[in-house]
Amino acid sequence: MFSFIWWIIGFYWVSVGGAVLTHDAPQLYWLCIVFLAFDVFFVVFCVALACVIGIAVCCCLPCIIAILYAVADQEGASDEDIRQLPKYKFWRTGDSEKLGSEMSRSSSGIMTECGSDPLVEHALSAEDSECCICLSAYDDGVELRELPCGHHFHCICIDKWLYINATCPLCKYNIIKCNNQGREGA
């Protein structure tokens, strides 16, 4: 701000009273010229520095984001964490089939838990009968994995995702923190 004010006052002073100043006070005149030159240099330097910083930020922004992402608490799940999640087999149902009191006529499929002694089944509507990662509809006999938040996906799709990021791709529920809280409570 001081530089801008000095530029206006100094430039006006030199241009309007330059002939009188050179005759009456030549040292003050040359001091004013030196300060104006310094002011121009300072402004050019600041603009150039701002441009260099702007270009550096634009060019290095992906690197900065990658570093911040690596430093953040985004870690993948271990094999043990993933194996603890229940697996299901998916089977399509027809409109006329009745599979129990829990299921309605409009259900598109049923998930049956693998290896459970009392048979655990969940009915899926037509909208829920597809993997939200690969966007493919579930086929008969395909293995699904259900996360603690209740969302389900193809085993292959969600396992790849969980190795990179231990959160549900839909609701960001962290399966590691859930497992750790469950172990501490027991």
Q: Is 34 helix (H, G, I), strand (E, B) or coil?
A: helix
- pLDDT tens readout for residues 143-172: 999 999 989 999 999 999 888 888 898 888
85 lies in the same domain as 166: yes
| Residue 157 half-sphere exposure toward CB, CA atoms < 13 A | 21
Same domain, residue pair 54 and 141: no
Its domain, for residue 29, covers 2-71
Largest CA distance in the chain: 109
Kindly give the pairing relationship between strand 143-146 and strand 87-92: antiparallel
pLDDT, tens digit, for every residue of 46-98? 899 999 998 888 888 888 777 777 666 567 888 888 888 989 999 888 654 44
Q: Which residues contact 98 (CB under 8 A, 6 or more apart)?
A: 105
Domain end position, chosen among 39, 71, 103: 71
**DSSP E strands, the chain:** 87-92, 107-113, 121-125, 143-146, 152-154
Question: Which CATH number fits the domain that encloses residue 84?
Answer: 3.30.40.10
